[in-house]
Amino acid sequence: MNDIMKFPFYAKITLTLLGLIAIMFIFYIGQDILIPVMMSFLFAVLLYPIVLFLKSKLRFPHVLAVMLAVILFVLFFIGLFVFLSIQISDFANDFDKIERNINIHLRNIQGFIRENFHLSSREQKEYIDTATADSMEKGKEMIGSTLMSFTDTLINLTLIPIYTFLILLYRTHFLLFLSKLINKENHELLKDILMHIRVAINSYIVGLIIQMILISAMTTLGFMIIGVKYAILLGIITGILNLIPYIGILLAGLLSIVASLTGSPDLSIIIGVIVVTIVVQIIDNNIVVPMIVSSKVEINAFISIVGIIIGGAIAGVSGMFLALPTLAVLKVIFDRVESLEPWGYLMGDHLPKTYTWRKIKLPLFDSEAPSKKNIIKTDIVVPVFTETTTITEPSKTEE
């Protein structure tokens, strides 16, 4: 007897939308719990090859291998934090120079307004005071919310290494739990989904790390060429902030402009900072992202932008950062479940990337042109489920 109920198309769409609304609502009200767990899952996927190396090559016990991988992960971030703290403390010592140079630029702006718009300095001050009448009250509220956000960040920074350790430690336990949820005839499909989720997330995070290093290096080099003080610090901060979609590069640009005032009030330095930032972003958006990041997660630009906006609306900056890996996981699942395959196709990017014109490869944006099927052979280890443990065996996959 067939127990599967078939619904008309409009009923399926309605149920799908209700399901999406319910999931988004759950994420919204539970973001303080779910976001650290999701971050930890990403880092656990990134650290798993290290754990596997320590276990297989160096013969470390499982617990010790997981502990050592997480400790190395934490030490890396502590070292980065210490380096940035030292640089920022030196930067703070030059705050008087920044304030003096900013006042010089403000006086120049006031003079320009006075000459061209016939507004005296007193009238300009009255306009500014009127526009910022409620700024003190709003400033207090902003400081309070910032302190709360900083406290939440510290708590998350403490929880993420713990969650990462536990996810890696109980990896086999979680895999067996999933295998018990799925019928045995679907275990091969489950293995395939889990393997490709791991590949997609690991490749995406590695791509982001490469992007961060390249952006930091290019920005540092550009700032050194134009003579900006603290070029290395500003380059690293720009690379880190660039991981935050849209708003990250704006914050980095403003910070770089302010920091450039530690050396000289010369307007040419500020213009140079703006030019370097724009050039680096052009290279990033047109070369680095398509070649390194987008190639790792095959999701079209429209879905990516919508997903990032929804993630930001639900959980702020953390939601924007988690949007693309979450979409990548959903696409892997959709592509391999027959009833969800149309949604996977909708999320995918099936346009041919290049075409050859007189032996020169150029970008191709013609959706009518047929694209070749990509065959990717890997030696990724596929989990084999048993009642007591998870054994791994090499497998070659085709996508």
How confident is the model over 303-312, as a mean pLDDT?
Answer: 84
Res 134 pLDDT > 70: no
Res 98 pLDDT > 90: no
| pLDDT recorded at residue 295 | 56
Per-residue three-class SS string for the chain: CCCCCCCCHHHHHHHHHHHHHHHHHHHHHCHHHHHHHHHHHHHHHHHHHHHHHHHHCCCCCHHHHHHHHHHHHHHHHHHHHHHHHHHHHHHHHCHHHHHHHHHHHHHHHHHHHHHHHCCCHHHHHHHHHHHCCCHHHHHHHHHHHHHHHHHHHHHHHHHHHHHHHHHHHCHHHHHHHHHHHCCHHHHHHHHHHHHHHHHHHHHHHHHHHHHHHHHHHHHHHHHHHHCCCCHHHHHHHHHHHCCCCCHHHHHHHHHHHHHHCCCCCCHHHHHHHHHHHHHHHHHHHHHHHHHHHCCCCCCCHHHHHHHHHHHHHHHHHHHHHHHHHHHHHHHHHHHHCHHHHHHHHHHCCCCCCEEEECCEEEECCCCCCCCCCCCCCCCCEEEEECCCCEEEEECCCCC
pLDDT tens digits for 197-212? 888 888 888 888 888 8
For the ranges 235-249, 306-320, 361-375, the lowest mean pLDDT is seen at 361-375
Res 14 pLDDT > 90: no
| pLDDT recorded at residue 352 | 58
| pLDDT recorded at residue 226 | 86
Average confidence score pLDDT of the chain: 76
What pTM was estimated for this model as a whole? 0.71
pLDDT tens digits for 337-384? 887 888 888 888 766 555 566 555 555 544 444 444 444 444 545 555
| pLDDT recorded at residue 305 | 82
pLDDT tens digits for 48-84? 999 999 999 888 999 999 999 999 999 998 988 888 8
Res 283 pLDDT > 60: yes
